[in-house]
Amino acid sequence: MKIGMLAPLWERVPPEKYGGTELVVYNLTEELVRRGHDVTLFASGDSITSAKLHSIRLRSLRAHPDQLNPNCYTMLHSAECFRNADQFDLIHNHTGWNSVPMSSMVDTPTVTTLHDRVNKEGALIFRTYQDHNVISISDSYRKCAPNLNYLATVYNGIDVDGFPFQEKPADQPYLAFLGRFSFEKAPHLAIKVAKATGSRLKIGAKLPDNPNDEKYYKEMIEPQVDGDQIQYVGELGFEQKVELLANAQALLFPIQWDEPFGLVSVEALACGTPVIACARGAVTEILEEGKVGFLCKDENDLINAVSRIDKIDRAICRSYVEERFDVTAMTDGYLKAYSKILKQPVVQVA
């Protein structure tokens, strides 16, 4: 099958550091190529892929910003994919709602995986193009946009073999936080939990790139980082991320919004590291209470869960991800969805 894979242009594929959507696109693309499908990846020119790479820019927008509004390049990027639509049996869009109108102008079937929340503009687009095929990355995601033409739910998948299993945490124990400096990701709560339990906390996070998050970071995070109990270790590349997660006692995932999926929690479990999370969004769907971590309703619950983390079997955390969230399971799910769109089975070439 010939597939056009349309990735966001902001980060390269796979991302050098922070970038969950781009990592999912990379994993899916590589597995489809491994199975013998003919995939053309529309992404920035610095992307690394086994697929054919088609790009309008040499480097990602984040790596090489310039004077033009990024939306200009995003539009040109999507248009380039749909200009070549007749080359494909199917186009898989990961750039969100802004590419949907273009898909209506071509005969090639298109499906959009929604990785982020649908805002007011996105809702208007989907009301206008009601027949557009949509895939959610969790069932709970559909609550924020209930009236779309959902074809399937396909959970995000990771290359589990790329995450070495760690039977025990580091000799000098610590809790880990990995994400962004934003109120909705709530590293401030992770800091409170660490201080209340006398734990060390290592924070791997992307520095703010907008005024609201910058204000949050300056007021609620930066004064708390002492380099000893509370450590900021930077925005991490893949190997650094794996090391941080694998050696932690637990990952703190104290989200204050309805997370559509939460890839970092699956990555931690793949290393054998349990997750202590707020029970919002897809968390209750992805994590099993008492088996791979603890689901908490408030700050006190988060604090109490730290003392119980040794009750979680790290080997079970690993097998849990192998069975449910490996890239092979994700790819199987997408191929089933492609079959629905094409109204015929997708033949496995390899």
Angle at 254 between CA 189 and CA 231, to 5 degrees: 55
31, 36, 38, 40: CA torsion to nearest 10:
20
Question: Same domain for 53 and 20?
Answer: yes
Does a structural domain hold residue 182? yes
pLDDT value of residue 61: 87
Task: Specify whether 270 is located in the same domain as 334.
Answer: no
Q: Are residues 165 and 302 in the same domain?
A: yes
Q: According to DSSP H, which parts of 35-178 are helical?
A: 70-83, 100-103, 120-128
| Alpha-carbon distances of 90 from 11, 42, 87, 162, 334, rounded to whole Å | 23, 13, 9, 29, 12
Coil, strand or helix at 302: helix
pTM: 0.93
Ordered alpha helix ranges (H), the chain? 20-34, 70-83, 100-103, 120-128, 187-197, 211-216, 238-246, 263-270, 283-286, 299-306, 314-324, 327-342
Q: How many CA atoms lie within 13 A of 305 on its CB side?
A: 30
What is the per-residue pLDDT for 144?
Answer: 86
- For residues 29 and 101, membership in a common domain is answered with yes
pLDDT (mean) for 76-87 = 97
pLDDT tens, position by position, 129-140? 999 999 999 999
Banded pLDDT at 343 (limits 50, 70, 90) = confident
- Cα distances from 129 to residues 84, 112, 154, in angstroms, run 21, 12, 22
Residue-level pLDDT at 257 = 94
- Taking a C-beta distance cutoff of 8 angstroms, is the pair 153, 340 a contact? no
**In DSSP terms, which residues pair with 345 in a beta bridge?**
none
How many other CB atoms are there within 10 angstroms of residue 44's CB atom? 27
Asked, for residue 294, whether it belongs to a domain, the answer is yes
Please state the domain count of the chain: 2
Q: Give the pLDDT score at 345.
A: 79
Same domain, 169 and 266: yes
Q: Is residue 348 part of a domain?
A: no
For residues 82-95, one letter each, b for 16 or more C-beta atoms within 10 angstroms of the residue's C-beta and e for the rest, the string is: bebbeebbbbbbbb
Task: Summarize pLDDT for 96-128 with one digit per residue, the tens.
Answer: 998 999 999 999 999 999 998 888 899 999 999
Query: Average pLDDT of 30-51?
Result: 97
Q: Is 289 among the domain residues?
A: yes
pLDDT at 18: 77
Q: Is 16 inside any structural domain?
A: yes
Asked if 242 and 331 sit in the same domain, the reply is no
Average pLDDT over residues 63-67: 71
Banded pLDDT at 4 (limits 50, 70, 90) = very high
Asked if 100 and 230 sit in the same domain, the reply is no
Q: Average model confidence (pLDDT) for the chain?
A: 94
Query: Do residues 275 and 338 share a domain?
Result: no
pLDDT at 17 exceeding the cut of 90: no
pLDDT at 346: 78
Q: Is 349 part of a structural domain of the chain?
A: no
Asked if 151 and 10 sit in the same domain, the reply is yes
In this structure, the answer to whether residues 320 and 207 fall within a common structural domain is yes
What pLDDT does residue 348 have?
A: 64
| For range 210-224, the mean pLDDT | 95
Per-residue DSSP letter, 326: B
In-domain check, residue 200: yes
- The CATH number for 250's domain is 3.40.50.2000
**Is 350 within the bounds of a domain?**
no
Q: Are 307 and 330 within one domain?
A: no
In which domain, by residue range, is 141 found?
2-157+326-342
Based on the fold, state whether residues 14 and 151 are members of the same structural domain.
Answer: yes
